[in-house]
Structure 1
Amino acid sequence: MIGNARIRLRPTLIDDLGYVISVETDPDNLPSITPWDRTQHEAAVRFPDFRHFIVEAGDALQPVGFVILVGCRNRHRSIELKRMVIQPKGQGLGRACLRLLKKIAFEDLGAHRFWLDVKVHNTRAKALYDGEGFVEEGRLRECVRTDEGYESLVVMSLLQAEYAARCDAGLEAAA
């Protein structure tokens, strides 16, 4: 288990997938993500290139969300933050989780590049990523099909040297 002052990450178990799917399909979260079915989550739990974690917080370490990293064995050392879903919102848990994930990606997994994509309309998440040093690389125009049409994604990344500079400046302290 990995943690900081606010949260702890523990590997997701198959028994946790009911919770994962319930959080992922919650009406507050659904517009911001493209949900997976149970089989996709099962594969991510089992496949060594993925890291699938339950996010826990509070004195009782209650589940507050989940995260998925992809490319953990990528020879190019480019790791993707595939999914981060945190509930409840507005308590700084997402920021604490993102800082911990950056530490894992760069310090534990040896990433050169840590990247993600975010839906254009998800301004709350985009502001978090901007504030945490991620740089916009471009947009994938109308690449996600929804019931209402198509949505675009913003691709963002943080490089190891940028992360190191943030650490030196004291910007990566536990949130």
Structure 2
Amino acid sequence: MGAGLKREVSLSSPILEGRNVRLRPPRTDDADVRVALGNSAEIGEMFGVSRGDLKPVTREGAARWLQWLADHPHAWVIEINGAFAGEIRLDNVNRQDRRATMAIGINNPALLGKGFGTEAITVLLHHAFGEMGLHRIGIRVLAYNKRAIRAYEKCGFVVEGRERETAYVNGSWHDDIMMGLLDREFLSRDTIES
């Protein structure tokens, strides 16, 4: 891990490799890339941020975010072609019930819609259902984020419900879609596709 971040690489966040995507712990130089990428209004809206509320990414803000990511026990930077592209993480990990929630963000608009998010999710799911032994992963996504919903469905997630008017974005209320995936569903899909 690069100098400047306080956490060392641990077994809880190993480097995970896919065909085109690498999931790794954050490095100090990722903050510079994050600042250079800035905040895209399109990406911000997918996270529920109104265009008028979008703030510039500062070096200090990027460093704080990167430290938060480094301190998170189940978070990775998404690296594509050797460069920072975003983040993916498992939150709310419950070992007793063997479940967690997942969050992903591709911060580079040029990389959207090219399958990198789907691949990053698949790589993480192999780790979550394999090495971590989880039984269930849940996701919540804004109903208008059709690209993310398609990516989740490609990975095997199914819609489990809808929470109405959970986010106020750009002057309107929007619903959240609740999605989930069980280990046996993912593993049977993975066996069929192999």
Distance (Å, rounded) in 2 between the aligned partners of 1:10 and 1:158:
23
SS of residue paired to 1:114: strand
TM-score by length of 2: 0.74
Question: When you count strand as a share of all residues, which structure comes out higher?
Answer: 1
The equivalent of 1:114 in structure 2 is: 137
SS of residue paired to 2:130: helix
CA pair 40-54 structure 1, distance change in 2 beyond 3 A: closer
The equivalent of 1:46 in structure 2 is: 71
Whether the 8 Å contact between 1:65 and 1:84 is mirrored in structure 2 is yes
The equivalent of 1:85 in structure 2 is: 106
5+ residue gaps in structure 2? 1-14, 50-60
User: Superposition RMSD on alpha carbons, in Å?
Assistant: 2.6
Aligned match for 2:184, one of 157, 161, 172: 161
**1:144-167 CA-partner distances (Å, limit 9, x unpaired):** 233413221101011011012112
- Shift of residue 72 of structure 1? 3.5
CA pair 151-11 structure 1, distance change in 2 beyond 3 A: same
Does structure 1 residue 71 correspond to structure 2 residue 92? yes
Distance (Å, rounded) in 1 between the aligned partners of 2:38 and 2:149:
18
**1:103-162 CA-partner distances (Å, limit 9, x unpaired):** 121112211001111110111111121222111010111112334132211010110110
Does structure 1 residue 94 correspond to structure 2 residue 130? no
The equivalent of 1:133 in structure 2 is: 156
Distance (Å, rounded) in 2 between the aligned partners of 1:78 and 1:24:
33
Aligned match for 2:23, one of 9, 17, 34: 9
5+ residue gaps in structure 1? none
Distance (Å, rounded) in 2 between the aligned partners of 1:76 and 1:24:
38
SS of residue paired to 1:167: helix
Structure index of larger Rg: 2
Name the count of aligned residue pairs.
Answer: 167
TM-score by length of 1: 0.81
SS of residue paired to 1:71: strand
Distance (Å, rounded) in 1 between the aligned partners of 2:162 and 2:36:
29
Q: 1:6 is aligned with what amino acid? A: N
Distance (Å, rounded) in 1 between the aligned partners of 2:105 and 2:186:
19
Distance (Å, rounded) in 1 between the aligned partners of 2:48 and 2:70:
18
Whether the 8 Å contact between 1:23 and 1:85 is mirrored in structure 2 is no
Q: 1:9 is aligned with what amino acid? A: L
- Shift of residue 24 of structure 1? 7.7
Q: 1:45 is aligned with what amino acid? A: A
